[in-house]
Amino acid sequence: MKKFYFLLTILFIFVGSLYAQNEIFTSFGAGLTVPISDLEKSHKLGFNVGANAGLAFDKMFGGRVDLQYNSLPYKNSSYGSFEITGDPITIVTFGADVVISDFKKIRKKEVFIPYGFAGLSYLYAKAGDSKYGGLTITTERDSKLALGIGGGAIYKFTENIGISAELKYSVTLGGNQVNYIPLRVSLSYIP
């Protein structure tokens, strides 16, 4: 959790240092996290919270940093007379994305702006204890790099404020796969 607070601090420092720029954008939001692949077998639909801040480099390209916290509850099940239970898996990511959008519209109000992004993330996953009958399997922790691709759209209802919705698919590099899709609805602010 200390790493999460440290990364959140870095994100806010980044936002503060960009405040003098005209073409910056930020968003804070929450949503659902959908487990896929092997993770889907053991965990249920969860939640996420996150924030990002970015800078438009020109009319079509920008960059952003993104911080997310995801939690996926364990699917309780049984095997014969044994109950299998477990704690949720938590996934914290800190990433950098290249964003493609029509940044000419960023200062207009009552406008719909779709966007796409791709990038690299540092992922920290912590699986809680699992219990199988009287046996307890201890907590596992793993950190790795992940490639992500996604898209979304923002509807700006004022010059500075809008609502955005996005989804992102991440693939971890090497070792055990931690695959999930966060769906997030955010309040966006363009200072």
Give the residue among 158, 159, 154 at the shortest CA–CA distance from 186: 154
Q: What is the pLDDT along the chain (191 residues), one digit of tens a residue?
A: 566 666 556 655 555 544 444 578 899 999 999 988 777 777 788 999 999 999 998 889 999 999 999 998 887 665 555 566 677 888 899 999 999 998 888 778 778 999 999 999 998 888 766 665 556 666 677 888 889 999 999 998 888 899 999 999 888 887 667 778 889 999 998 87
132 burial via Cβ count (<10 Å: 0-12, 13-18, 19+): middle
First to last CA, the chain: 29
Do 115 and 78 touch, CB atoms closer than 8 A?
Answer: no
Give the pLDDT score at 57.
87
The contacts of residue 169 (CB under 8 Å, 6+ apart) are: 148, 149, 150, 179, 181
Q: Domains of the chain, with CATH numbers?
A: 2-189 (2.40.160.20)
The contacts of residue 9 (CB under 8 Å, 6+ apart) are: none
Q: Supply the Cα-derived Rg of the chain in whole angstroms.
A: 18
CA 154 to CA 159: how far, in whole Å? 12
Task: Compute the C-alpha angle 145/149/150, nearest 5°.
Answer: 135
Give the pLDDT score at 135.
62
